Amino acid sequence: MRALLRESLPGLALAAHRKGIDLAWRVDPAVPSSIAGDAERLRQVVVNLVGNAIKFTEHGDVVVRVRVLDVQNAGSDRRHCLDISVADTGIGIAADKQALVFDAFTQADGSTSRRYGGTGLGLSISARLVQMMGGELSVASALGDGSTFRVRLPLDHATAAPAPMPAWLAGMRTLVVAPIGGSRSITSAMLGDWGADVVTAANQDGALTASMAAPCQLAILDPRALDDSPADVSAALAVHWPGVVSVVLVTSDRPPEELEGLRAGGMPLAMMPLRETEFAAAIAEALPDRARLVAPKGQR
């Protein structure tokens, strides 16, 4: 699943960035490092759902999460029921229209086809593919309040163990500052997987308030959440934190001159959507004295 998302979603992340929205994804550590199933059909479903979410989202984010729902034992065979959700902050779907979205050539509201284009066939194909794989595709939504499409899919596993997740930031209090809730949540969850004690803020004022409440050892800053330069914010945080403030910047695609400006500040930089290996390398650069910082296996 990790490879499937890593290989399938970067192009869609660029499309999201061009609309000014974030695309983030996370596979829960409990998901096995390998599973047996129809990768190409599952890829088609995920790409359809994410592409559809981006199309109907004008601001905010699209977040993909994969987790294990349950494990069923049948003799010596074990099966994992995966929950693959695609949540957006888009236009949403009225309750009385949700049953229509999986019908071929039908959209919940005729005006959407005029504004956004498309026939609705992608959702119909996705629902059929999931059904043929023994699963179910459903939607939860509210008009004007976004949608969450959820695939529940029983899959045979190829390896018994989940992907290794060493507690490589064990106990380190870490501040995550990002303006968009979904990306902030995904970043926090990733750090939590690695053992960090995470606090979050949506903007610079929140970050400074959090720093006064409890000193942190590491700050993950999205420049979009800041009123001042990252260097100025780092200096302000250092007023309340003992010792050296270690900072990693996370940012989506920007014009080359803006990226060069961020890199010139000397702070490690990780590009969004965050990938575990690259994010781990940026943190290791910020914390060179922590010799045990090693990118998690199974996340490459």
* Residue extents of the structural domains in the chain: 2-157, 173-286
Closest residue by Cα to residue 226 from 248, 246, 202:
202
- Residue reference for tokens 């995920």: 46
Q: How far is CA 164 from the centre of its chain?
A: 19
Which pLDDT belongs to residue 244? 61
- Residue reference for tokens 């993950």: 220
Which pLDDT belongs to residue 14? 86
3-state secondary structure of 69: strand
Which pLDDT belongs to residue 295? 44
Which pLDDT belongs to residue 137? 95
Which pLDDT belongs to residue 31? 86
Identify the burial level of 138 via C-beta atoms within 10 angstroms of its C-beta, where 0-12 means exposed, 13-18 middle and 19 or more buried: middle
Which pLDDT belongs to residue 221? 95
3-state secondary structure of 99: helix
Q: Which two tokens stand for residue 152?
A: 């529940």
Q: Is the pTM of this model over 0.85?
A: no
Which pLDDT belongs to residue 166? 65
Which pLDDT belongs to residue 45? 96
Closest residue by Cα to residue 293 from 213, 218, 211:
218
Q: Compute CA distances 55 → 12, 52, 62, whole Å.
A: 10, 5, 10
- Architecture (CATH level 2) of domain 2-157: 2-Layer Sandwich (3.30)
Virtual torsion, Cα 59, 47, 72, 299, nearest 10 deg: -80
Spatial contact of 179 and 59, defined as CB atoms under 8 Å apart: no
- Cα separation, 34 vs 69, whole angstroms: 16
Which pLDDT belongs to residue 119? 46
Rg (C-alpha) for the chain, rounded Å, is 20
- Architecture (CATH level 2) of domain 173-286: 3-Layer(aba) Sandwich (3.40)
Which pLDDT belongs to residue 185? 94
Q: How many CB atoms lie within 10 A of CB 193?
A: 21
Which pLDDT belongs to residue 296? 45
Which pLDDT belongs to residue 291? 41
Query: Which residue positions in the chain have pLDDT lower than 70?
Result: 70-80, 104-120, 156-166, 243-244, 253, 290-300
- Listed in order, strand segments (DSSP E) in the chain are 22-27, 35-36, 61-74, 77-88, 136-141, 147-157, 173-177, 197-201, 218-221, 246-251, 269-271
